Structure formats: C-alpha cells, structure tokens
Amino acid sequence: MDLTGKIVILTGVSKGIGRATAEALLAKGAIVAGWGRTAPEGLEHERFQFIECDVRSEVSVQEAYVNTHREVGEQVHVLINNAGVGIMGPVDGFAGDDWRTMFDTNVHGTFYCCRAVLPQMKKQQLGHIINVASLAGTVGSENMAGYCATKFAVRGFSEALFKEVRHDGIKVTCLSPGSVETNFTGATPGAVPNPHKLQAQDVAAAIVHALETPAGVLISEVEMRPLQPKK
C-alpha cells in the first residue's frame, strides 16, 4: 500500500511505539488520527489529528470514531491497535482491578477498535489492521501471567480475524516485539539507545514495512527480537 494520503487510526499515540509510528507514517505521507488519553507532546503536523479516546471504554471508542470521521474523513485505510498496559506480579498477590485493566486495554480495546472500523473497510473492500501483541503472547513467564494472557488473546484474536476478513480485501497483521526500550515498564529510556533492546523506531519501521506490502501480499504475523539481548 502506498501510504500517501491514506487515513490511519493509531491508538496509544502519546509516547513510545505509538509516537514513533505516528512520526514514521507522517514521513510517508499518511494522514494520522492519533487516539489516546493524552496528546503526544510537541507532535504538530498538518496531517496529524489527535482524538481523545480511552480504548477501555466502548462508548469512548465509538465517540472517537465519529470524531475521526468529522476531522479527517470517512475512509479508514489502516487501524493500528498499539495501546497497551503491562502490570507485573505473582498470581496469588495480583489485584483484580489490575487484571481487569490489562484485559480492558489490551484485549477489549483491540476488539472495540476493530469492530468500529470493519464496516467501513468492508465497504471499501480495502484496509489493513495491525495488532501489536508481544513475545509474551508466545510463551508464559513468571510474574507476567496476566500480561501474557492478554497478549496470547490478542494473537488468537488476530489469527481468527485475518481468516474472517481476508476475502473482504482486509489485511490483519499481528506484530509481536520482544524487549523494547520505552516508558512501558515505568522506566525512562536513556539518552543513549540500549543495544540490548529494540527501539520504538525499530517497531515503527516494521509496521510501515507490513503496510507497504503489495496488495496481494499479507504478512499475517511478525516476531521481533533484539539481535544481541543482554545475557
């Protein structure tokens, strides 16, 4: 897909992978509707429109979709479900509210956003949905049971969805990065990139690559790892 002039909805746009992806898409000529609870600081561009949205809320997603139509147009060529949250801890000490927050954001939010855009994409017989999962959705890890469960769910949902909509001309890609140097875990990325972690820009580049595949080609699943992880 040539991204010039294409309308992209991108969730979790305020920082990290979302912010880097917005910048990469704008550099390719796309029109980006960035959904999030807070606007990305300092990101101002004639083809960028921030839309306030909490993906945990079905109503908020519906309102954001209506607002996106009003601000950037009716068509939707791309949806990138990037918004996510990770809360770690042992199962027997895990708070129910934290468990629900992760599922509401990572799983239910992905469903709400996909459901919102699919009627228009089917009408167009064209579209590409990218769901950002994690390598934590491929293998369980101690003290990450809740997060792993949500990302396993995103991978299963993505596989089922791509089989459901491929004949409508809609692509679905599930992207599973490994360790990424972002604010996700609460730590602030250092001034010098960590060579043992992926950078947000690396993930953004992979997203752009998947989107730019020829019309008859689908990259259904991508796993990304740092080449030389910390020993």
Active site residue 65: no
Please state which of the four CATH numbers 3.40.50.2300, 3.90.1150.50, 3.40.50.720, 3.40.47.10 is assigned to the domain occupying 7-224.
3.40.50.720
Query: Which pLDDT value is given to residue 188?
Result: 56
C-alpha pair distances (Å), 22 with each of 19, 81, 138, 161, 201: 5, 12, 27, 24, 10
C-alpha pair distances (Å), 3 with each of 21, 32, 38, 149, 207: 13, 11, 25, 33, 12
pLDDT digits (tens, 9 = 90+) for 45-72: 999 999 999 999 999 999 999 999 999 9
Query: Which pLDDT value is given to residue 81?
Result: 98
Spell out, as residue ranges, where the chain has pLDDT lower than 50: 186
Query: Which pLDDT value is given to residue 186?
Result: 47
- Distance CA(216)–CA(128), nearest Å, equals 12
Residue ranges of the domains in the chain?
7-224
Q: Read out DSSP for 134-183?
A: -GGGTS--TT-HHHHHHHHHHHHHHHHHHHHHGGGTEEEEEEEE-SEESS
- Select which of 48, 65, 99, 147 is catalytic: 147
- Predicted structure pTM score: 0.94
Segment holding 48, helix H or strand E? strand 48-52
